[in-house]
Amino acid sequence: MKILSILGSTGSIGVSTLEVAAEFPERYCVVALCAGKNITLLAQQIRIFKPKLVSVERATDIEPLRALVGGIEVDIRSGVDGAVACACCSDVEMVVSAIVGAAGLVPTLAAINAGKDIALANKESLVMAGALVTQAVKRNGVNMLPVDSEHSAIYQALSGQRKRDVRKLILTASGGPFRNSSYDQLKDATLEQALAHPNWDMGKKISIDSATMMNKGLEVIEARWLFDVGAEQIDVHIHPQSVVHSMVEFVDGVVLAQLGVPDMKTPIAYALAWPERLPLKLSPLDLCASAELSFNQPDLEMFPCLKLAYQSLAEGGSAPVVLNAANEVAVASFLKRQVGFDGYSCIGHFDVRCPGFYT
């Protein structure tokens, strides 16, 4: 039985991870949960999984959470120290890093340094500190399995392959809710429209990142560190059907692709069970029912966040950190309806005028 800690248990990835764990109780035991402010959902998770340790974002939520769980005995902590405690819990074998944004870096790195295997959904850890995180993984001899569907697909396609035979990594992108929109339509885009992803059920922050294609830009940076390749070896293709989750092109011209239904339980289960696969209760992919599988180049004029990500990766140093921080502030402002989708950005040295709401 594998002992798990879930960082970000009340987010979309955390909820899906717990659903997978519940489907295979003979294989997984959850002993630690780290959440944000949704203590009502966290209380439900505590009642179901009976973890010995949980953490919340705010210390003021500890007593209300204790009241919600009644007589269940559980150690409740808060803040960064609480998240790190969940990440480093002595019994834990694998930490699912699913906290959204920069807040995930410290507990993820702490888990690695504590010798825990990582199922990585927090791409920002590698965006901000790719060299630091990958060096820690090697130094501590732990496994880091990607949970993002695109990186999981590449990880699977690379299995058994030689690195020197790889020509390109091809990340697929749905294009988000505005892939067929005009610039005039983007200017008037509403929060509700930006959150309405056509294919994936995701949290609010990631949904907005998908609408601007910043999410794909962050994934490019993540791929650079996960697979130790240069930016020139990473391409992005718009694939509206979200059936091909990503591809690897080899020097002989062969392209290996991983296909599947668009459900995050698949890459989560692969990371949890690696090198095995779990018999998930999902509908199989019906290729005969798929009308077409199309691929297009992204429009970097309409969606310049992807260009900014490549630029920050080329610049190196603190540029990806600045990019990520600016994006988090801007997305938070948009979610609070403090800014519109249209606007301008000036990120460090880039000084790029961006149509649409981008960082």
User: Rounded CA gap, 17 and 260, in Å?
Assistant: 18
Distances (CA, A) of 9 to 36, 75, 140, 204, 241: 8, 16, 25, 15, 28
The sheet with strand 166-173 has its strands ordered as: 234-238, 166-173, 244-250, 255-259
Q: Is the pLDDT of residue 183 over 90?
A: no
How far, CA to CA in Å, does 16 sit from each of 19, 155, 248?
Answer: 5, 20, 27
pLDDT exceeds 80 at position 16: yes
Q: Do 90 and 184 lie in a common domain?
A: no
Q: Residue 338's pLDDT is what? A: 85
**197 and 170 housed in the same domain:** yes
User: 19 with 134, same domain?
Assistant: yes
Q: What are the tens digits of pLDDT across the range 273-301?
A: 999 999 999 999 998 887 789 999 998 88
Residue 34 lies in a domain: yes
Residues 81 and 141 in one domain: yes
- Residue 347's pLDDT is 33
26 and 46 in a single domain? The answer is: yes
Query: Which of residues 177 and 306 earns the better pLDDT score?
Result: 306
129 and 244 part of one domain? no
Give me 328's structure tokens: 């988090």
Average pLDDT taken over every residue of the chain: 91
Domain assignment present for residue 196? The answer is: yes
* Rounded-to-integer distance, Cα 77 and Cα 52, Å: 11
Is 306 a domain residue?
no
> Which tokens go with 220?
């490019």
DSSP string, 92-137: -SEEEE---SGGGHHHHHHHHHTT-EEEE--THHHHHHHHHHHHHH
Question: Rounded distance, CA 234 to CA 221, Å?
Answer: 9
Residue 322 falls within a domain, yes or no? no
- 138 plus 165 within the same structural domain: no
Query: Does some domain include residue 350?
Result: no
CATH number at residue 18: 3.40.50.720
CA torsion sign, 221 to 227 to 232 to 234? negative
In a domain, residue 277? The reply is: yes
CA atoms of 20 and 63, how far apart (whole Å): 29
For residue 28, tell me if it sits in a domain.
Answer: yes
Domain boundary among 146, 169, 203: 146
Residues 220 and 280 in one domain: yes
Write the CB contacts of 328 (distance below 8 Å, at least 6 apart in sequence).
101, 102, 205
Q: What are phi and psi of 13, to 5 degrees?
A: -70, -40
Both tokens assigned to 187: 């200017």
Assess if residue 346 is contained within a domain.
Answer: no
Same domain membership, residue 60 and residue 139: yes
**Count: domains in the chain:** 2
Cα–Cα distance for residue pair 238/242, rounded to 1 Å: 9
* Whether residue 52 sits in one domain with residue 102: yes
| pLDDT single digits (tens) 187-244 | 778 888 888 877 766 778 888 888 889 999 999 999 999 999 999 999 999 999 999 9
Domain range enclosing 61: 2-146
Tokens 């825990």: give the residue: 116
pLDDT reading at 354 higher than 80: no
CA dist., res. 354 & res. 283, Å (int): 40
Same domain (yes/no): 242, 176: yes
